Amino acid sequence: MLHTLTRQVRYALCLLLFALNLVATQGYAALPASVDGEPLPTLAPMLERVTPAVVNIATVGHVRLQLNPLFNDPFFRRFFDLPDTPRQRRTQSLGSGVIVDAAQGYVLTNHHVIQNADEIRVQLHDGRTFTAELIGTDPETDVAVIRIPAENLTALRPADSDRLRVGDFVVAIGNPFGLGQTVTSGMVSALGRSGLGIEGYEDFIQTDASINPGNSGGALVNLRGELVGINTAIIGPSGGNVGIGFAIPANMARAVMQQLVEHGRVERGRLGVSVQDLTPELARAFDLSRRQGTVVADVSEGSPADRAGLEVGDIILMVNGRPVGDSADVRNHIGLLRVGDSVRLTVLRDGRKLELTARIEAAQSSRADGGRFHPRLEGARLREITGDISRPGRRRGILVEEVTPGSPAARAGLQAGDVIVSVNRQPVNDLAGLREAAHSNGKGLLLNLQRGRGAMFLLLR
């Protein structure tokens, strides 16, 4: 009897599925506008208000091609009669943006959308097109601000992204694959994502709303139509959406935007501390029962952290009243503060909680032209490697950011991406150390370099 009943139930279910499929094939126009007097749920009214604030961005630019090092040799170039003008390649980019100030015409987007752009064209929802002015850009957070000379604009109202919760419904709006404005929906999958290696400051909102190439710079909004994030990146083996997308929180984007509008760049301050994650092993070594927080690994002498009383081995629990989960949290909190701001640190030391206050100072210059240190380094753009060196992949030394073709540094064999570890057998960790080591031997420079995964010596006479 049970077997027969089961067979009957299966037959009824098959008939029901067939009926539903038949209704679906006849089109959604047959669906009622309401059920039992209640209207069907829809996001259409909210989207009608929001979508005019999301724009399409197209850029045209040029990038210098990376040539074989032989092309930097003057003899080689003369022998083969090669032109001195460095080769360039024309680039095009498609992305999205969000109008955040209708009166001023300010549009938030990603740095990588407008990077290397000679011309930025913005198309509004109503079809109008404008050439945009670049106000400022910050590669560290992948945020950029542009301005369009337009009237009758619609701006998105920002939400407090710190109040987002996993499970909140969100909608992504952008221009995927250049198809035109497209809307996808999903929910917040995770918060505070970092350590992805996408940008320098990472505090991403993760969502399963479909984000694809071209969505970058577009809006992530809540169901009230408020801006909660700027769509930025995806993880996908084929470059397409697999349900893992990332957005910059609106609070971070707004903080960066304020500085870009005021100064054209972000003026980050200095606390003078290196931190590392509190792993289970470190927690046991420090005899801690908790695993939340970050360990102070180094405090620079005379820095704001030093004057505030921070010590190596302290566990930072909170920054300005906000709990710290790992070293990325500290980096994000401090990196968005301005010079002169006070920062309140809650630390754990020998089992006791302490409240320390420091004032953020202007960061010392960490970039310089190599010619300032030695004639053979002329044409090399150098930068100190800063941050938490205890993290995997971090190195001490001086990074060669760029080498001008045909310059003394290029002819000597230096390449962009090289890391200068020592000069004349003296370790160098900063530009001051490089200057001292470069003048210790009047005959030339003996550089110990890390190049890729290997190491080598380079003698500059």
On whether both 241 and 304 belong to a single domain, the answer is: no
Cα–Cα–Cα angle for 59, 195, 334, rounded to 5 degrees: 85
Q: Is residue 155 part of a domain?
A: no
Grouping H, G, I as helix, E, B as strand and the rest as coil, residue 128 is coil
> Quick one: tokens of 109?
């987007």
Q: Which of 362, 391, 417 is where one domain is finished?
A: 362
Distance CA 224, CA 48 (A): 12
Closest CA to 434 of 393, 377, 394, 362: 377
Closest CA to 198 of 232, 244, 243, 242: 232
Q: Is residue 134 part of a domain?
A: yes
Distance CA 387, CA 200 (A): 10
Distance CA 347, CA 298 (A): 15
Q: Which residues, at least 6 apart from 47, have a Cβ–Cβ distance to it below 8 Å?
A: 171, 173, 183, 225
Residue 268 host element (H or E): none
Domain CATH code at residue 73: 2.40.10.10
DSSP classification of residue 265: S
pTM of the model: 0.66
Q: Do residues 71 and 228 make contact, with C-beta atoms less than 8 angstroms apart?
A: no
Please give the C-alpha separations between residue 65 and each of 127, 158, 414, 457, in angstroms, as whole numbers.
35, 40, 17, 26
Q: Is residue 6 part of a domain?
A: no
Question: How many residues comprise the chain?
Answer: 461
> 107 - beta bridge partners?
99, 146
On whether both 135 and 172 belong to a single domain, the answer is: no
DSSP classification of residue 177: G
On whether both 385 and 455 belong to a single domain, the answer is: yes
Residue 125 annotated to the active site: no
Q: Output phi, psi for 116, to 5 deg.
A: 65, 20
Residue 216 annotated to the active site: yes
Distance CA 217, CA 93 (A): 12
**Residues 96, 111, 138, 142: which is the catalytic one?**
142
Distance CA 313, CA 47 (A): 51
> 245 - beta bridge partners?
207, 234
On whether both 259 and 174 belong to a single domain, the answer is: yes
Q: Is residue 374 part of a domain?
A: yes
What pLDDT, on the 0 to 100 scale, is given for residue 14?
Answer: 46
Q: Is residue 331 part of a domain?
A: yes
On whether both 201 and 243 belong to a single domain, the answer is: yes
Closest CA to 228 of 170, 274, 145, 307: 170
What pLDDT, on the 0 to 100 scale, is given for residue 340?
Answer: 83
What pLDDT, on the 0 to 100 scale, is given for residue 333?
Answer: 79
> Quick one: tokens of 25?
């094939």
On whether both 278 and 200 belong to a single domain, the answer is: no
What pLDDT, on the 0 to 100 scale, is given for residue 87?
Answer: 58
What pLDDT, on the 0 to 100 scale, is given for residue 67?
Answer: 52
On whether both 179 and 140 belong to a single domain, the answer is: no
Q: Which of 147, 174, 197 is where one domain is finished?
A: 147
Q: Which of 116, 147, 178 is where one domain is finished?
A: 147
**Residues 216, 274, 407, 422: which is the catalytic one?**
216
**Domain limits for position 295:** 269-362
> Quick one: tokens of 6?
């089961």
Q: Is residue 401 part of a domain?
A: yes
Residue 112 annotated to the active site: yes
Grouping H, G, I as helix, E, B as strand and the rest as coil, residue 414 is coil
Number of folded domains in the chain? 4
Q: Is residue 38 part of a domain?
A: no
On whether both 355 and 372 belong to a single domain, the answer is: no
Per-residue pLDDT in tens (0 to 9) along the chain, 461 residues: 334 434 544 444 444 444 444 444 444 444 556 666 667 788 899 999 999 999 999 998 876 555 555 555 555 556 656 555 555 677 788 899 999 999 999 999 999 899 888 899 999 999 999 999 999 998 888 899 999 999 999 999 999 998 999 999 999 999 887 788 889 999 999 988 776 555 566 778 999 998 888 889 999 999 999 999 999 877 665 555 677 889 999 999 998 999 899 888 887 777 888 888 888 888 787 777 766 788 888 888 788 888 999 998 888 988 888 888 777 778 777 877 888 888 999 998 888 889 999 998 876 656 788 888 888 888 898 988 754 333 334 456 888 988 888 788 888 888 888 899 989 888 888 787 888 888 766 567 888 998 877 888 888 87
Domain CATH code at residue 298: 2.30.42.10
